[in-house]
Chains A and B, each alone.
Chain A
Amino acid sequence: DAKTTQPNSMESNEEEPVHLPCNHSTISGTDYIHWYRQLPSQGPEYVIHGLTSNVNNRMASLAIAEDRKSSTLILHRATLRDAAVYYCILQDNYGQNFVFGPGTRLSVLP
């Protein structure tokens, strides 16, 4: 399984944008890039995913580098409820195994 690298933790101020980086230099051409988040004492929650083009949904935006070796999850206006662990995951061609690394713990300051 291709691996991802994320910072252990990040801080943001409430109502400011947050850019969460992820490096995946060994990504293959058919690997989808997924982002999930996990709020305290809850199961992971889907955020967004993409293959090559940038993606937007109601929760966030996903910016994918042209060479696909990195991506950035963008929360446009952080709220206190966005404080969570964010996981960047590569889904391989067969799809069954989503490999969750340690993720990035995002703290949002009021």
Chain B
Amino acid sequence: NAGVTQTPKFQVLKTGQSMTLQCAQDMNHEYMSWYRQDPGMGLRLIHYSVGAGITDQGEVPNGYNVSRSTTEDFPLRLLSAAPSQTSVYFCASTPDWNTGELFFGEGSRLTVL
């Protein structure tokens, strides 16, 4: 079972470069979200989606864009990378917010120099 798949697992960028973190899930979940985790801290919500074509901002959306053209995919775009965006990024999905069970990917570690 693939579950939630994130690519790439590691990435190094220079300040100002753009890139896209990919997230795909094969569980037909309507709800998907992106979190970032900084060293020694919990996760913070960046953006989320409640279905194809619908996205909304979370706690820390600045510097990131998302789109949801299909149920399966929820890419996260960094428009102009900054050192403050050095972090580990996690994608999660759930069939229903009310069930409470988020399924997370293994994470993408991003370093911005």
Contacts and interface: CB of A to CB of B under 8 A. Distances in A.
Interface of A: 32, 34, 36, 41-46, 49, 87, 91, 94-103
Interface of B: 4, 31, 33, 35, 37, 40-45, 48, 50, 56, 58-59, 90, 92, 97-98, 100-107
Given A36-B102, A43-B104, A43-B107, A96 B43 contact: no
B33 A45 contact: no
B98 A95 contact: yes
A34 B33 contact: no
Given A49-B100, A97-B58, A43 B92 contact: yes
Nearest to A97: B45
22 contacts: A32-B100, A34-B100, A36-B102, A41-B107, A43-B90, A43-B92, A44-B43, A44-B102, A46-B100, A49-B100, A94-B97, A96-B45, A96-B50, A96-B56, A96-B97, A97-B48, A97-B58, A98-B43, A99-B59, A100-B35, A100-B37, A102-B40
A53 to B, nearest CB: 15
A87 B97 contact: no
Contacts of B44: 100
Contact of A44 (B50, B56, B58, B104): B104
B111 to A, nearest CB: 15
Nearest to B41: A102
Contacts of A96: 31, 33, 45, 48, 50, 56, 58, 97
A103 to B, nearest CB: 6
A99 B4 CA distance: 20
Nearest to B45: A97
Q: Which 9 A-B pairs have the closest CB atoms?
A: A43-B104, A95-B97, A100-B42, A100-B43, A49-B100, A46-B101, A101-B42, A43-B90, A97-B45
Contacts of B37: 100
